[in-house]
A and B are shown apart, each in its own frame.
Chain A
Amino acid sequence: MRFPDGTDALDDVSLSVDSGEFVTIVGPSGCGKSTLLKIASGLLKASSGTVDVDPAGIGYVFQDATLLPWRTVWRNVELLTELHGISKAERERRVREAVDLVGLTGFEGHYPKALSGGMKMRASLARTLTMKPPVFLFDEPFGAVDEITRERLNEETLKLFEQERFAGLFITHSISEAVFLSTRVLVMSSRPGRIVESVDVPFEYPRHPDIRFDSTFGEISAHISHALRGAHA
């Protein structure tokens, strides 16, 4: 991937994610993680190489909640089903299910400006869930919320993954988030973006929040941290 100014954003990156697999890419800011995700989703064209994903089956979770401020939570969650011309009754059913699943029951009539950052992210997740996508792309979705909310959102994302068994590709710069969620963690270096390390995470699903305090968890985190440092040097 090369930008028009000649900067190579990504160089020889290749990866595949199967359903039931949760792959996380960690890397420093500006290493091209988001670019990779944009290419995978079809929002950007790669200057060379191929992408083999059905664009209709992609659920994209943005860095910000990207909600429409003039729509209530319910109407925001309904947006995608509306764009795809799904019948009113079916829309109603899917929105109900998604809103309940992310724990926003009771907040359907609220406008985004009345919600906390975490609740906005939940609404955004619910919107993606209504389309039941087989592929989930997460673009650093919880970077803007506080640590406590982030841990809870991680646990809920994990629950969603355990339930839906989609193919997940997650971008973050938080190592513990990466290890906690993923079956596999990829470490990326910057300029040009390159995958320098692939680490398998052996924990079985469903995962308990306390695996964060497990010694294996610590070892894997340390390993990734070293790989990142090496990539940066």
Chain B
Amino acid sequence: MTTDILNASTSRSNESAKRSLRMFLPPVLTGALILGIWYLISYVLLDPKRRFLLRPPHEVFNVGFANVDNFSEMMVGLWETTKTAFWGLLIAIVLGFVLAVIMSQAKFIERAIFPYAVVLQAIPILAIVPLIGFWFGYGFMPRVFICVIISLFPIIVNTLFGLLSADSGMHDLMTLHQASRITRLRKLMFPAALPAIFAGLRISAGLSVIGAIVGDFYFGQGATGIGQLLKRYAARLQGEQLLASVIVSSFLGVLVFGCFGWLAQRVVGKWASDNRAGD
């Protein structure tokens, strides 16, 4: 009997090792494959004279990340971009939330505002960026403004959808007990909206980063962010640094996405029936 139990527990620890292997092996393999293809293109497919088009991975690392001057230039740019994206997102959250709450209070308010939210969403960001620069200049606030425009819609839509998703039986209960609008909002609609709000935040956070980079790229002046660096590296054919900044900017997006996912898990993970908002 004792041996049986021992066997069972060893096989279980094997089992968990196997499971983590199954978790991590596939993405690691994909990563290795991508690096392999990258090397293949750099060294085999590209003529040595044209190798500047795609420098091999280790050179990108050496020039872009291991060189202190280059790396710090990129980090300063990244910090500028992060600041812009952060303020843009924050304003979009506050504005989007307020608008959604107002829209949730009466159908006619929703009808009055919603089409314009869609219009805002439909404006191609590349079309609005020069206009914003033309009107408001190329400083910090116009950049933030671009981030707000690009990240506002998902917050409005998801928050509104969430607020309106509250159970009708619970609404009846609130009515029966003469709950005020504020109480209804605070105790029923807002908590019910949280999973959807977080889903919106994750989308908007990524969009705000894109807004900050695009704005910086097209403004081409003012404090130097990742956008301007991308443009500069491309113009000077600095392939290693160009690729390094692409990697860094996508890393910023991933980081922001991950942060909100973690936050969602902390806030609604305990009770939300589907974990989609938090995974």
**CB distance A84 to B177 under 8 Å?**
yes
- Stretch from A65-73, A165-173, A190-198 contacting the other chain: A65-73
Q: Is the CB of B169 within 8 A of A62?
A: yes
Chain A 39-67, CB-CB to B under 8 Å as 1, else 0, gives 00111000000000001001010111010
Interface size class of A (residues with CB under 8 A): 20 to 34
Contact A70 B191 (CB under 8 A): yes
Interface string of B173-206 (1 = CB under 8 A from A): 1111111000100011001101000000000000
| A79 contacts chain B at the CB level, 8 A cutoff | yes
Distance in angstroms between the alpha carbons of A64 and B268 in the assembled complex: 22
The answer to whether residues A62 and B272 also contact, given A70-B191, A79-B187, A83-B183 and a CB cut-off of 8 A, is: no
- The answer to whether the Cβ of A80 comes within 8 Å of any Cβ in the partner chain is yes
Chain A residues with CB under 8 A of B192? 70
Q: Evaluate contact between B176 and A41: CB separation under 8 angstroms.
A: yes
B172-A62 in contact (CB<8A)? yes
Chain A residues with Cβ below 8 Å from B173 are 60, 62, 66, 79-80
Q: Does A111 make an interface contact (CB < 8 A)?
A: yes
Is A68 in contact with B170, judged by CB distance below 8 angstroms?
A: yes
Q: Are B194 and A70 in contact (CB under 8 A)?
A: yes
Contacts of B2 in A (CB 8 A): none
Contact between B169 and A66 (Cβ–Cβ < 8 Å)?
yes
Where chain B touches its partner, the secondary structure class is helix
A88 at interface, CB cutoff 8 A? no
Contact with A along B6-49 (1 / 0, CB 8 A): 00000000000000000000000000000000000000000000
Q: Does B273 contact A (CB under 8 A)?
A: yes
Name the residue on A nearest B169 (C-beta): A66
A-chain residues with CB within 8 Å of residue B108 when the two chains form the complex: none
Complex Cα spacing A64 to B169, Å: 8
Inter-chain contacts of B174 with A (CB < 8 A): 83
Rounded to whole Å, the gap between the CB of B26 and the closest CB of chain A is 30
Bound state CA distance, A84 and B177, in angstroms?
8
Q: A55-B176, A79-B187, A82-B187 are in contact. List 18 more A-B contacts (CB 8 A).
A: A43-B176, A60-B173, A60-B176, A62-B172, A62-B173, A63-B169, A66-B169, A66-B170, A68-B170, A68-B187, A68-B188, A68-B191, A69-B271, A83-B174, A83-B177, A83-B183, A83-B187, A113-B273
A binding-site residues for B, Cβ under 8 Å: 41-43, 55, 58, 60, 62-64, 66, 68-71, 79-80, 82-84, 111-113
